[in-house]
Structures are given as C-alpha cells and as structure tokens.
Chains A and B, each alone.
Chain A
Amino acid sequence: MAEALFQISGLRLDVPDMARKPLFGPAPRLEILKGISFDIPRGAVLGIVGGSGSGKTTLGRALVRLIEPTGGEILFDGQDITHLPDGRLRGLRRRIQMIFQDPMSSLNPRLTVGRIIAAPLCARTGDARVAEALDQVGLPKAFAARYPHELSGGQRQRVGIARAIAMRPDFILADEIVSGLDVSSQAQVLNLLEQLVKELGLTLAFISHDLSVISRLCGRVIVLQGGRIVEDAPTRQLFEAPSHPYTRELLDAIPVPDPSIRW
C-alpha cells in the first residue's frame, strides 16, 4: 500500500446546541463527529457514505479545514493541520481542493467561467491552464466567456471540477457532487471523474448518500452512522458481504431498475 496522504485519528467535532440552550449558562454540546480514524493513501479513491445527519459533510469540511475540529488529529502529508490558523493554511490550500454539492451556489454568479477557474491560479482568463482544464472536463473553450447561470446543471458541475483540477492538487474532496443532477448528467459527470482519476492519478474522497454512485468510482468505502464509522472495507467486499446492518440497509435502498418489484 502506498504512503498515506491523509491520516485521521480520533477526529471529534462538537457544536453548541442552541435549540436546547438554557436561558442562562452555556448551551449543551452537540457531538457531530465522535472519534473518527482512517487513512487515505496517495492515489486512492475513498468513498464516504452515510444517511442524512450522519456527519459525512461535516467530516469532509473538517478534512479540507473549512471548519476546525475540536479534537483528534488530521495529518496531511505528514503535517499536522488540525488547528493550523487560516494564514498558515494558505500555503497548503492549493494542494487540497474541493468540489461542492451545489454548483449554482459555489460558482460566483457574477464572474465568468474563465475568471472562476483562473482566479485561484492567480492567472488571467486567457491563461493556457484555463483552456486546458476546460478541455479536460469536456467543455468547449468558448465557455470561458459564459456566466454560470447560462450553463446546464451538469456543465456547471464540470466547471466546478475544472476549477479543482486546474490547481493540480494532491487531494480533491467531492461532496455529493452528483446529487443535484439528473441521472444522465450524473452518469456523465461520474464517467468524467473516473477518467480524470485515471489520467491525473488523483487522490479523491467522494462523499455520497448513494452507494450505487460510490461503487462506480471508489476502491474503498467508509460507512458513517451518527458520527461514527460503522464499516470500513474495500468496495467489492462491502457490496458482497456487508458486515453491519446499517450498510445492508443502505445497500437495500439502491433502487432496482425493475418496475414489477415493489420496494
């Protein structure tokens, strides 16, 4: 096995629970992540799956340090980034990228696609890297002059991918990137991602609530429930012999393409 790019051990995160805050005194803490440990080897594609409220998005955002964990440790390439302040994190940012769930919200509506891709590179819109990134995600170069709302959902998500890969990052987090798309665009975006993983040798963490999406892409799957890892297994093994009842539940939730079977 290759060296680990990410090493996560005992990761905890809690937030004040304002709904149950007494009139005086501090609010009780609500635990979202309850001690999570796993590794992401370089070049691996890891699936993170779980139902809603299982903490998968929070885990993702803690990995890329959009939020600061309250406990545990995140090592990126051997460096402790758990509590690194924003200023010192900035040097690492270009190595850790993220693709967001809702491209309408994650692409600035008043900037052109070219500027959206070029800005993180500190390049101009006409930079060769912008054209290359657009080409890699299968969009024509002319799209650089368009605004996000002029694109379809699938095209927007491709722009999100282009922005992430243009940075040539070591790691990409993909947070539910196909859940807002219709089935045919989902397939296209997944094919694209699969191809990019092969071409560029990306290390990817792929968050989804849908195991059928995960099976396409990932070599290993982590199943989250209520802020804990309930199963961590290679994809094939997980699908053939799920060890935890929750995993079985998720597997049963995959729709069957047969209208005569009721589920």
Chain B
Amino acid sequence: MLDGRGAIKRRAGARLWLSALWLGFVALCAIFAPLISPQDPLAQDLMLGRLPPAWMAGSEPGFWLGTDSLGRDVLSRMIFGARVALTVALLAGVVTCLVGSALGLVAGFYRGWADRIVGRLVDIWMAFPPVLFAILLIAVLGTGLTSVIIAIVVIDWTRFCRVVRAETLNQSQMDYVQSARIAGFTRLRTLLSEILPNVLPTMVALLTLEMGIAVIVEAILSFVNLSISTDAPTWGGMIAEGRLAIHQAWWVLVFPLVALFLTVLSFAQLGDGLRERFDPVLR
C-alpha cells in the first residue's frame, strides 16, 4: 500500500533538530539540576520577594529570572521542575502507549469478543470528563508523582487504543496478512512480525504527542494543586502561583509557560520528524 505521503517532500531536518536540541537541553537541565541551579529551589526569603529578572532595574545578582512572592528563585525552580515534567512525560507516555496499543492491536486483529469488550470499555471511558476523572483519581490515590502517572495512563490509554485499533483493522485487510497465513504463520506471529511494523510509525507519532499531553496534564493537575506537594517545584505549580501575582511579577508566570510551550511543541515536532526520517515507506 503506497499512498501520496511518499511523494510529499518536506524538509523535516530543521524541525527535528531544533526540537531534539530543546528536549536535549531540558533533559540535561533535569539530570544535572542540583549542579547547575544557581539557588536552592525551596529556599524562601521574603526580603527577596518578587525580584525582577536580571536585565531589569531592581534585580539582585544570582537571581537570573527573578523570584516569586516567597522569594524563591524562578530559574532554579524551573530547572528542578524540568525533572518532574520529563519524568511524567517519559513514564506516563511510554506506559500509556504500551497499554493502549496492546489493547488496540488485540482488538483490531482478533476482532470478535475481544474487540467488543475493548470497544465498549473505550466508549464508557470517553464519556467521562477527563479532567474530573483525573481529579477524582488523585483524590482517591493521594497526591504524588506516581499518582499523577497512574492518572494519565488510566485516562489516556483510549487515545492509543482507538487509533491503533483502527490502523490494525486497516492493515489486517491487506493481502500480506493473507500471505502470512499461506506461509503458515501463527496468528500471534502474524500480528507481531507483519502487522506491528506497519502500526509502529503511528504509535511512535502518538507517543511523542502523548508525552506533550502528559506534560500539560501534569501542569493542569499542579495548577489545581493535585500534582505533587505544593512546595515542590513544577511548571504547572509555578504558573498557578504566578497567576496570583501576574500584575506585580509577570516573570513567575511567563518563563515556566514558555518552557512548557516549547517542550510540548518539541515533542510533537519530534514525533513527525522521527516518522519522516525512519519510516522506510516515507523515505
């Protein structure tokens, strides 16, 4: 099956490298956070509250991006916040992808009762408002990084399941599945060695999107104070705090917001870029 995608020549290079560069930078910040952050992200000093960024009048040396209302260094908190953001993106993204895709593959390939059960489950799941569902889950599980990851997986597996099921269903109609039967492959081998390679590009693209979404969900949960402890630095938590003092100290809101925006954008671009680069059919 060849479609028009192969004929469209797009310059994915720049996008791929820019997004990889930003994500690499964020990852380095997250890994070496204690070494590179200029201040203690938790240290409060009311005397240093709402200091502006370094290039504005009234700033203090050592506080490059200013401080928040409690006198905590914005840059240091952003650097430590990257840890939470990336952990959530990677773990929640990967687990969601595995759970959703596995169910989607089984439902789309084996059809029958497996498809009916998974299909009904997805329908029921999607009828639930996701944010309320997350809040409910965290309320039951208690706050913490693990709860946030579990909440994202429990809510978002349907996204993978629906897309992967549709794609598997589509691929199952192809003659190469019939020729695998002729070759005497078992059903499971057909699914894993013939269909999976054709669904994988879709899964990778979705996975990177999901990583971006996971970062946003974590930010939303932080925003309503349901992520990790209120004191711990997260981008969403900083945005929530910054909102209260937006007229006096815009930097507390804006810098984490920019970091969040760039990260989510980069994940999405990375997915597209990887697909175009490593998919043999598109190359």
Contacts and interface: CB of A to CB of B under 8 A. Distances in A.
A120 B179 CA distance: 9
Contacts of A111: 194, 197
A105 B194 CA distance: 12
Interface stretch (A40-48, A95-103, A220-228, A231-239): A95-103
Contacts of B175: 100-102, 105-106
Contact of A66 (B181, B186, B198, B280): B181
B47 interface: no
Given A109-B2, A147-B280, A100 B179 contact: yes
Interface string A79-107: 00000001000110110111011101111
B281 A106 contact: no
A35 B198 CA distance: 39
Contacts of A97: 182
Given A93-B183, A109-B1, A66 B197 contact: no
A176 to B, nearest CB: 12
Tell me which of A86, A90, A91, A109 has the highest count of chain B C-beta atoms within 10 A of its own C-beta: A109
Contacts of B197: 108, 110-111
A119 interface: yes
Contacts of B279: 110
A64 interface: yes
- Interface residues of B: mostly helix, strand, loop or mixed? helix
B230 interface: no
A211 to B, nearest CB: 25
Contacts of B182: 64, 66, 93, 96-98, 120
Contacts of A100: 175, 178-179
B281 A109 contact: yes
Contacts of B229: none
Contact-residue bracket for chain A: 20 to 34
A12 interface: no
A24 to B, nearest CB: 21
B25 interface: no
Contacts, number: 71
A149 B183 contact: no
A163 interface: yes
Contacts of B174: 105-106
A157 to B, nearest CB: 13
B176 interface: yes
B184 interface: yes
A119 B281 contact: no
A94 B184 contact: yes
Interface string B158-177: 00000000000000001110
A71 B174 CA distance: 27
Interface in B1-30: 1-2, 6
Interface in B166-211: 174-176, 178-179, 181-187, 193-194, 197-198, 200
Contact of A106 (B176, B187, B193, B200): B176
Given A90-B186, A104-B2, A120-B184, A110 B280 contact: yes
B183 A108 contact: no
A66 B280 CA distance: 29
Given A105-B175, A106-B176, A111-B197, A119 B183 contact: yes
B2 A149 contact: yes
Contacts of A90: 184, 186
Nearest to B175: A106
Contacts of A107: 176, 179
A66 B2 contact: no
B160 to A, nearest CB: 19
Given A90-B184, A94-B184, A119-B183, A106 B2 contact: no
Contacts of A119: 183, 185, 193
Question: Which 3 A-B residue pairings sit nearest by Cβ, starting from the closest?
Answer: A93-B184, A120-B183, A106-B175
Given A106-B174, A147-B280, 4 more contacts: A93-B184, A100-B175, A120-B183, A167-B183
